[in-house]
A and B are shown apart, each in its own frame.
Chain A
Amino acid sequence: MNLDDVVFAGYEYSREVLELSERFGYEPSIVYRYVEVLGLEGAWRLLEANETPLPETIRCNDYLIDCGVLKDRLEGKGFKLERLPLAPHGFKVLAQPFSIGAAHEYLMGYYYIQDPGSMLVVYILDPGPGEFIIDMAAAPGGKATQILQLTRDKARLLAVDVSGRRLKALRSHMQRMGFTSYLAVKMDARLLPDTLKADRVLLDAPSSGEGIIRKDPGRKLKGKLEDLRMIHKLQVSLLEKAYNLVRDGGVIVYAACSTAVEEGEYVIHKLLDSKSDVHVEGSRVEGLSPGVIAYRGVEFNQEVAGCSRLWPHIQGTEGFFTCRLVKSRK
Chain B
Amino acid sequence: MQASKKQKVNPRLRPLKPAELRVIERFMKKLGINLGEPPENLMALETPKARYVDVFSVPEGVKELLKHFQAHYSAGLYLGYIEKGRFKPGLPLARKLAGNCGKTIKCIKLDEEGEKRFLYRRIVKQENIIEWHEGVTVVVNRQGEPIGWGRGVVEGVAKTVKPLKDLGWYLRRGG
Chain A residues proximal to chain B, CB less than 8 Å: 101-102, 104, 107-108, 132, 156, 158, 164, 167-172, 174-176, 178, 180-187, 193, 195-196
Say whether B16 faces chain A, with CB atoms less than 8 Å apart.
Answer: no
Total inter-chain residue pairs, C-beta < 8 Å: 85
Q: Which residues of A contact B92 (CB under 8 A)?
A: 175, 178, 180
Q: Please name the residue on chain A nearest to B61 by beta carbon.
A: A156
Whether the Cβ atoms of B73 and A101 lie closer than 8 Å is no
Does A181 lie within 8 Å of B62, measured CB to CB?
yes
Instruction: Please tell me if the beta carbons of A175 and B167 are within 8 angstroms of each other in the complex.
Output: no
**Option from B59, B91, B141, B147 in Cβ contact (under 8 Å) with A180:** B59
B72 touches A168 (CB 8 A): no
Report A144 CB to chain B, min CB distance, Å.
11
Instruction: Report the minimum CB–CB distance from A162 to chain B (whole Å).
Output: 11
- Tell me whether A186 and B75 are in contact (CB under 8 A): no
The distance in angstroms between the C-alpha atoms of A182 and B168, with both chains bound, is: 24
A135 CB, nearest partner CB in chain B, Å: 13
CB neighbours of B59 from chain A (8 A):
156, 180-181
Contact string, B27-70, partner A, CB cutoff 8 A, digits 1/0? 00000000000000000000000000000011101100110110
Closest chain A residue, CB of each to CB of B93: A175
Using CB atoms, name the residue of chain A closest to B116. Answer: A104
* B119 contacts the other chain (CB 8 A): yes
Nearest-Cβ distance from residue B174 to partner chain A, whole angstroms: 6
> Would B171 and A169 count as touching, CB distance under 8 A?
no
Other-chain contact of A183, B65, B78, B167 (Cβ < 8 Å): B65
B73 touches which of A102, A108, A167, A180 (Cβ 8 Å)? A167
Residues in chain A near residue B174, CB distance under 8 A: 168-169, 172
Name which residue of chain A comes closest to B76, CB basis.
A180
